[in-house]
Amino acid sequence: MPQKRNPDLAEVIKGKSAWMVGMTAGLLAMPKGGMSGFNRDTQITKYAVMDVVRECRPAAPVLRALFARLKVHPDRMRAHLDDGFLAAADFADALARALELPFRTCYEIAALAVRHSGDAGHLTPAGASQALRESGHDPAMATQVLADLADPAKVLAWRTHQGAPSPQAVREQVDALREEVAHQSAFAAPKAEAIASARQRCREYTPA
């Protein structure tokens, strides 16, 4: 759509990667129930491999170009964190853990907190405290949650699960990806050399 200003190419690459996972599952299932010798069903693997290479080969250079030109504006991003009520869902989730309440109940408390914080334009500790009291809960039971609401960085730090956006979780994910890249590179390097060598032998081949 013309009003979109999101990184469209990243969405397309994400879709390609999902499609590649599906093709990989198909390739792995192909030998299932196979008899000894050549079976004609195996010829389908050629089309799958060719399609994967054709569709996904551009992803790496496109991503490389994306990150080479990517510019991050922390000040602008930080300023937008005070627009709207971005912390409402995180607040409800944190309350559910801190007070050991059902998320549905905490969702209603968060909605009430939004109403009480409306003039500020973002969720405030005062508005959240008032919502807790009106809902019959002692704000003292969620002191740390309420204190963190004033700092978006602390709210972000609540998310510590695998793949979460908190700095700690992101660092762990980056470290894991680096290990995976190193592992895949060690596997791919000798394969690439073998392919290059075979290609050169084909070029130099002379029929007897």
What pLDDT, in 10s, does the model give residues 51-74? 888 988 899 899 999 889 989 999
Burial class (CB in 10 A: 0-12, 13-18, 19+), 57: exposed
The residue from 40, 70, 100 where one domain ends is 70
Q: Is the pLDDT of residue 1 over 60?
A: no
Note whether 63 and 98 are same-domain residues. Answer: no
- Which pTM value belongs to this model? 0.63
Mean pLDDT computed over every residue of the chain:
89
Quick one: pLDDT at residue 206?
Answer: 84
Quick one: pLDDT at residue 36?
Answer: 74
Show the tokens assigned to 165.
């956006």
Residue 173 lies in a domain: no
Q: How many domains does the chain have?
A: 2
Quick one: pLDDT at residue 44?
Answer: 85
Note whether 53 and 115 are same-domain residues. Answer: no
- CA separation, residue 22 to residues 12, 18, 47, 87, 129 (Å): 16, 6, 14, 35, 48
Range of the domain at 28: 1-70
Quick one: pLDDT at residue 4?
Answer: 66
Residue 170 lies in a domain: no
**Around Cβ 158, how many Cβ atoms within 10 Å?**
17
- CA separation, residue 150 to residues 79, 160, 189 (Å): 13, 19, 50
Quick one: pLDDT at residue 6?
Answer: 72
Residue 193 lies in a domain: no
Quick one: pLDDT at residue 207?
Answer: 82
* Residue 186 DSSP SS3: helix
Quick one: pLDDT at residue 170?
Answer: 94
Residue 17 lies in a domain: yes
